[in-house]
Each structure stands twice: as structure tokens, then as C-alpha cells.
Chain A
């Protein structure tokens, strides 16, 4: 049985093909204005990679903020449920998922079957999200994907006090003007986000193992800051950005079984 999971996020679209117990292929592309068309294109790319055909897909489930705008999906499910399913599939010992995406961050408590027990999300501001890091990377003239390695070079601790994206950006610019090293500023940013995420996470009962998902989990500096702050067993999947799409595919498979 071949199914597809689509995660239509605020910054990227992720599509994934799951066949029985195997991830056959996946694709990640940036989100644009025409979400419906881009998602279809992304899915076609993924199908091409796996050598499958759209007609042969048994079921398609969409998740992410754009999930309701995908007419060719059989069902839409929230990214909270999907990240829980995906994280459980990748590591059944997972009891907590921390997903830091482009637009929001979430902490999800799950049981041994991957069912959501409780969850919490960031409030309406961009602090503690991928978008926050993107803006800071721009202010520092560094590529977003380079932030992790840069921060690992840091030798001096700098505290970033502002969490508002706009205020933090001007704080970063001021620190650059004062001659602070970029790597120290980036480390400060990572620690600041990790403090915010952890204070949110502590409102739930944090249980091991904690799986980190979402694009920000690809940032090694951010992962290190979180590990240090959480003082827990942390698992980072090989490709943390596709966990939501994987969860959507698992949900699609469940739909087929239930029919």
C-alpha cells in the first residue's frame, strides 16, 4: 500500500511517500503564494523520485497551516497529531515532541502509541520560531543553514535580552556595531530561543525521550542549546523537517486500514 503525507507549512512544503514500513521518497520546497499548485508540484517530484504514480496512491493526508487548501487530499489533520505520529514511528520511546517550525513552536506530550496526551503552542509572536532565526540570520549576513556551525565556534557568552523579533534584530545590529563576534551573537540567540521553548515546555510534564522535529532541529547549535537546557534524553531524527509529513502519511495509512 502506497500513501502520501503532505505538510504544507508557512515556510516550506514537505511531501513524503510511504510504502508499507518504508519511506520511499520525500521532497522539501519553499512555500509560495499558490500553495495548492506548489504542493501538487512537490508531490509530483516526490512521486517521480519513488517511481510511483498519483493514481496509485491509496490515500493522501495533508497537514500544516495550508492543510485546508489542498483539494486533492483525502483528509486534513493538524500538525500536532501528525508530529506525534511521525515521532512515535521514528522512535517509539518518544514521550515528548518539540517541534520548532517556521511560524510556531509546539511541545507535545504523547503516549506509547503516538497519541497526543497534551500540547502547548507559542503565543502569537514569532519569538522562538524558525522565522525568528531567519530574520536574525539576515541581520547578521549569514545563511540560515550556517547558523548552527557558526554558533559552535563561539567562545564567549552573550545574552540576548529581547525576544520580540523586531527588538532582537536591532539588538543584534547593535551588538555587531559594538564589535561582538557573530558566532557569539548566534549562540546567544540560540540560548535565548531555547530558554523560551523550555519555559513553555515546562508547563507540560516533560518525559524522556524528547524528539526534536521541524526545520530548526537541523540547526546543530540550536539542538546543543536545547540539550543543555532540557537536561534530558534528546533524539534528533535524520531528517527532522519531514516528521509532520511522515505523520500525515501514517494517518493516511490508518484511513485505508479503517475502510
Chain B
């Protein structure tokens, strides 16, 4: 969308009216169904889920809670809350070319450029009043440090309750107890307000949905070990990732992963790869990729390189146990290999390198994600010792002003020449 289109108060007010009307998403959904009629079924399910989320965020048939990606979505579904992930919405907005306008809006209201660009986009969306307000905010301190301050600020802006789940550093019994107690306390407080107490049948239902979905993700990941790669990591870090974070515990999530699993199985059986000729298998590190228009995937394709897997899709948690809901959710959070000592992440990355027959690793150091970028050189040193080359690609996931086409191309091409 051209920038000058939005630099107009009238148009901005019009967008506000349209964006906050639930009927808008019914219309867009119908249009997109037609437009994407030839796309894979899984993609269409994602679109359906996305517009359903946006519609529900407007309609508010259930209390809408804003949260961040590593707070387990099952927790919200079981409590009859409707989770919305502002940072994930920001990724979608970046992909349709609207992020920079919103970033500039938030920066003009004193949001520092040191804040993660995904949250600057979300702040712009809030300041423009283009998104329905939340009823509640619940976030965790897991991995992302920018989110805590962002959500605190949002709770003041909207005058709504904010619960911060403090994730401990170590993955041990004490940490799990500490986390479980926090989750239980939050659930109790919410239950007192909206009368939605966590009942066993609900826990069983949502945990089972999540566990079944988890099984399909594991099977899907197993397929991705095949040569040629049946699924591009570039897609896996886009709409598939959206589902990975927000649909576990939802019926649509199960349907999505079941369908994606079937589609991938067919590709594997027919030996259809992402590329006709696969020369380099790449492992992509860190949770995100750039979502604005960029040439990275073309650069990789031209040089016959495919992202065979990405660390963010790795299933690190055990199946949830409905008999021990709080401990089980807590265990899911502490078992994330990104939390705790760097050796934990290194071990997982090295296993992925071997299992997915990786030739080279690209670590996308998204500027806002300090927790991840900080360890990049330690991982690089380790992998180099093992003879696995790694490229640290500095960049930004949502702010295209930090992207240089030529410089990025040179880094990627030189890395692939090195692999040759």
C-alpha cells in the first residue's frame, strides 16, 4: 500500500471504522477464499482462522486477552478466553506493507527505536485505534524482554488488568512449581471475575486437542527430514508459525495441522521438493524472518538452497497431562530450549543439524530479540568446531528501513559460495 494513501486523517478514520467492524472480516474472508482458491487447503484454513480471530476480537463474544507467543494458548482456550497475539498480527501487517507507517506512528509518540519493531507496529495500531481493545492482558517474560514493558504500557492505555507470568531461568521442579502457582492464581482471579472456572471436562477437551495437534506437528517435522525438503521453512515461519503459536488447543488448529500433514505426506510420497534441484539444506535459527517485501528467499532459491527446517518449529514439550494442568503447562514453558543456559539451545540446534542433514545454518539476528542474538556467536563457534558453517544475518523482522537488499544478498550468496 503506498504510504501517501494512509497519510490522510479522513482515510485513517475510515480504516478505523472498517477495521473494527466484525462484518469486514466476513467480507474479506469471502473475497480471499475466491482469490486463494488454488492455494493449498492448509493455507485456506489459516486464512479462515485469521479472519475468525479478527472477527471475534471485534465481536467479543468471549473476553479478548492480548498475550505473547510463548504463553501457552491452551491456557486461554481452557479458560474460555479469546487470545490475540499483537506481535503475530504485526508480522501479517508487515507482509501487506503497512508496518512502516505504523512504526512511524508509534515513534512519533515516543516509542523508542530500541523497542522490538513488532511491538512498535502493534503500538502504532493501538495509537491509530485500528484494532479493538483487549479486555485483559496476560503475557509471560519467556524469551522476549520487550513484550513485558509493551503490555504494561498497553494495560495503562486501555485501563485493563495485566498479569505477567514470570518464567524462571532454570528448568527444574522448583521453577515448575513457581510457574504452576502463578498460572493457577491467574486462573482463579479470572474465574472470580467472569465466572469461568477451570473444570476437568474443559481441561480434558482442550488439552486433548492440543496433544493431538502436537502429534501431527511431530509427524510433519519427521517428514521434513526427507530429501528433497517437502516444505519450505520460509512458509513455516509465516502462516504455519501463526498457527503454531496461537492454535494449540483450538479445533481449527488440529484441522490445520492434520491437513498440512496430509499435504506434506503426499509430497514426500511423490518425491516433490520445494526446489527442483536441492543443493544446500539450511537450518534457520531464531523465531522469525523478515515479513516485509524482501529478496532473501529468491537469493536462496537462485543458489539452490532451501530452508529445510527452522528451530522455532521444533516440538520441545511433552504432551500435556489433564490430571496435572498447571504443572503440565508450567513444564511446557520451562522445557523451551531457548530458556536457560545457552548449552541447552546449542544441544538442540546440533541435533537438528544432524537430523535434518543440514549443510549450513543461518541465524537471523532480529534486532529486537536480544535474548536470541546474544548467543549467536557462541552457537557459531560450537558449530564451526563441528564443521558446520553458520552465517549471522543481522536484520529486522518488521521494520524494512533496516533492510539493505544488496548487503543482504552479498552475505547470503557469499555464505552459499562457501558451502559450495
Which residues of A line the B interface, CB within 8 A? 65, 68, 77-81, 104, 115-119, 121, 123-124, 203
A203–B377 contact, CB under 8 A? yes
Complex: A117 Cα to B384 Cα, angstroms: 9
4 closest pairs, A vs B, by CB?
Answer: A80-B414, A78-B414, A116-B418, A81-B417
B410–A65 contact, CB under 8 A? yes
Q: Which residue of A lies closest to B401 (CB)?
A: A124
B417–A124 contact, CB under 8 A? no
Complex: A80 Cα to B406 Cα, angstroms: 13
Tell me how far the C-beta of B308 lies from the nearest C-beta in chain A, rounded to whole angstroms: 22
A118–B384 contact, CB under 8 A? yes
Interface residue ranges of B352-398 to A (CB < 8 Å): 377, 384, 389, 394
The DSSP consensus for interface residues of chain B is helix
Chain B neighbourhood of A118, CB < 8 A:
384, 389, 418
Contacts A118-B389, A123-B394, A203-B377; A65 near B414 (Cβ below 8 A)? no
B411–A121 contact, CB under 8 A? yes
In the complex, which of the residues A68, A81, A124 contacts B414, with contact meaning CB atoms closer than 8 Å? Answer: A81
- 5 inter-chain pairs at a CB distance below 8 angstroms, sorted by A residue, are A65-B406, A77-B417, A80-B417, A118-B418, A121-B407
Interface size on B, residues (CB 8 A): 15
Which residues of B line the A interface, CB within 8 A? 377, 384, 389, 394, 402, 404, 406-407, 409-411, 413-414, 417-418
Tell me how far the C-beta of B381 lies from the nearest C-beta in chain A, rounded to whole angstroms: 9
Chain A neighbourhood of B411, CB < 8 A:
121
Complex: A99 Cα to B388 Cα, angstroms: 24
Q: Which residue of A lies closest to B413 (CB)?
A: A78
Chain B neighbourhood of A203, CB < 8 A:
377
Chain B neighbourhood of A115, CB < 8 A:
418
Tell me how far the C-beta of A8 lies from the nearest C-beta in chain B, rounded to whole angstroms: 11
Chain A neighbourhood of B404, CB < 8 A:
124
Complex: A65 Cα to B409 Cα, angstroms: 9
Complex: A20 Cα to B236 Cα, angstroms: 49
Contacts A78-B413, A119-B414, A124-B402; A104 near B377 (Cβ below 8 A)? no
Tell me how far the C-beta of B294 lies from the nearest C-beta in chain A, rounded to whole angstroms: 14
Tell me how far the C-beta of A73 lies from the nearest C-beta in chain B, rounded to whole angstroms: 14
Tell me how far the C-beta of A2 lies from the nearest C-beta in chain B, rounded to whole angstroms: 24
Complex: A65 Cα to B406 Cα, angstroms: 7
Chain A neighbourhood of B410, CB < 8 A:
65, 78-80, 121
Q: Which residue of A lies closest to B418 (CB)?
A: A116
A104–B407 contact, CB under 8 A? yes
